[in-house]
Amino acid sequence: MELKRIKIKSIRKLEEQRRVYDISVEGNHNFFIGETETLTHNCDYLTPNAQAALRNLMETFSKSTRFILTCNYVEKIIDPIQSRCQVFGITPPSKAEVAKRLHTILQQESVEFDVKDLGVLVNSGYPDIRRVLNSAQRQVVNGKLKIDKTSMIQANYMTECLQVLKSDSDTKIKFTKIRQIIADSKVKDFTSFFKFLYDNVDEFAGDHVGEVIVKLADAQYKDAFVTDKEINIMATILGIIEFT
């Protein structure tokens, strides 16, 4: 069974093996062989065409293979695949739980730290736990955790943007201030920012909550495809400001 490779997000048959396939998702490679179990992650990053190819593989090997698919956004998985799977939702740990785990790791590694700094680390990376841990590791110097200015800015940028949206400033001033805050934060992934704005929409949207939510939904969808995410988030902010 030969499969056509689809761009960089693909499913292809390896030439040197008979029934070994490579599911490539954003540079991460997951391999499975017929007549065995397979686990592949980040399936929501496969294109619809690649997902259709995966569906065909599932049908071909369904009698001999157990497929375990993981994703962050189940709504990005095509319905034919969802209908063939038993869906399990996993609730992510809270910020308090992540901070507690980080506290334990730092103690186990004999790292000196200020408990207040744990909040900065968690807020700057949550809900991406890997980012939180990597940030902590990067900022350990000579056995001591030292928070740099960049992490503090990243931890506070969402709150600062919210305060500007809630202010009585005119459109131009709001846009300029938020653009500067985001530029200074050097944040490149705005996934958590969309959720933050949604959770706090009642604080700045006034009588236009519905319109703002529609803007956020549209921007979140585009965020998965655009090259420059900062341009996308600023276009979103400009659209939101019109209703504040």
State the pLDDT at residue 54: 85
Q: What percent of the chain has pLDDT over 70?
A: 80
CATH (residue range 95-147)? 1.10.8.60
State the pLDDT at residue 163: 92
More confident call, 9 vs 243: 243
Over residues 101-108, the mean pLDDT reads 94
- Asked whether residue 107 carries a pLDDT value surpassing 90, the answer given is yes
More confident call, 104 vs 34: 104
Lowest mean pLDDT among 6-20, 87-101, 144-158: 6-20
Which residues are 112's β-sheet partners?
A: 144
> What is the residue extent of each domain of the chain?
10-82, 95-147, 153-241
Query: Would you say the CATH fold of 95-147 matches that of 10-82?
Result: no
Over residues 218-242, the mean pLDDT reads 91
- Asked whether residue 87 carries a pLDDT value surpassing 70, the answer given is yes
State the pLDDT at residue 1: 35
Which residues are 37's β-sheet partners?
A: 66
State the pLDDT at residue 6: 34
pLDDT in tens, 6-38: 333 444 544 444 455 555 555 555 555 445 556
The per-residue pLDDT of the chain, averaged, comes to 81
Over residues 49-65, the mean pLDDT reads 83
CATH class of 10-82: alpha beta
